[in-house]
Amino acid sequence: MSVRVTVPATSANLGPGFDCLGLALGLRDELEGELTDTGIGVDVVGEGAGSVPLDETHLVLRAMRLAFDALGERPSGLRLSCRNAIPHARGLGSSSAAIVGGLVLARALVVSGPERLSDDDLLALAVDQEGHPDNVAPALHGGFVLSGTDERGELYAVGSPVDPQVSAVVFLPPEPLSTEVARGLLPASVPHADAAADAGAAALLVAALAGRTDQLWRATRDRLHQEYRRPAMPASLDLVDRLRADGHAAVVSGAGPTVLVLVAGEDGAGADLAAYAPDGWRHLRLPVSADGARVEPS
């Protein structure tokens, strides 16, 4: 019996919410898995085809092994098919989608898997593999999620409302950027005033997404991380500057280099923004995905 799982793209940070805010978007990878008698078979089409490994080191398979181990299962063989729509190394959570999708797929392939391994368990496994929860939490739960670790070391992931008028416009550059490179540009400390400004903006962003959409531009201002990353993605930050100068709620998506703009309403803003796209960049308007990773009907 095969099982099919889809999992959404995600955008972390959203400007001021560094490593703690994430939003699921309506662009989904599709994974299909089946337990077999022996061997490993991996097939990839779409994004990453021809560049990702097709053996046990494939990120989805590594995540599946984590879930199987947590369930005390050792499948003899496995067939995995990936149809990828989420661009790789662009700041749209492709690695988180692979991790969360693999965990959910493995759980669904095991008898009574959902009863034996909860979503909280899956989140902990995903964070162990990814390193932080800002992308994996919305990939698992969908919507807008506030996540982190409390002073007792316990993970939390709390959903917050999103006004149905809100969607995202993304500008996808032709060249990737690794998260490691982007993180390597961040300083060890930042001025207190910058930290305070981002804390205020992040709090305002929760209200803006929930209904005060007139505050989206103000709420997406960042002083903690984006400017430090300009040397690695000057075209992305130049685009953010141009959009924000014209009153659009533009941010770097995750670690970049994709640029994301939060828009509200059905007023054609996505089409209007297309003119900002630099040569060679793709432009998409994506809804917010209320659903995270899900097992699809067979």
36-55 burial, b for 16+ CB within 10 Å, e for fewer?
Answer: eeeeeebebeebbeeebebe
Three-state DSSP state, 199: helix
Does the annotation place 88 within a ligand binding site? yes
Does the annotation place 253 within a ligand binding site? no
Q: Going by DSSP bridges, is the β-strand pair 39-46/77-84 parallel, antiparallel, or unpaired?
A: parallel
Does the annotation place 94 within a ligand binding site? yes
Q: Write out the DSSP string of 178-191.
A: -HHHHHHTS-S---
268 strand-pairing partners: none
Does the annotation place 271 within a ligand binding site? no
Does the annotation place 58 within a ligand binding site? no
Does the annotation place 92 within a ligand binding site? yes
Are the CB atoms for 16 and 122 separated by under 8 Å?
no
Q: Write out the DSSP string of 206-244.
A: HHHHHT-GGGHHHHT---SSTGGGGGG-HHHHHHHHHHH
Does the annotation place 248 within a ligand binding site? no
Does the annotation place 91 within a ligand binding site? yes
Does the annotation place 278 within a ligand binding site? no
Does the annotation place 4 within a ligand binding site? no
CA distance 2 to 79: 9
Does the annotation place 210 within a ligand binding site? no
Residue 75 amino acid letter: P
Numbered residues of the known binding site for ATP: 87-97
Numbered residues of the known binding site: 87-97
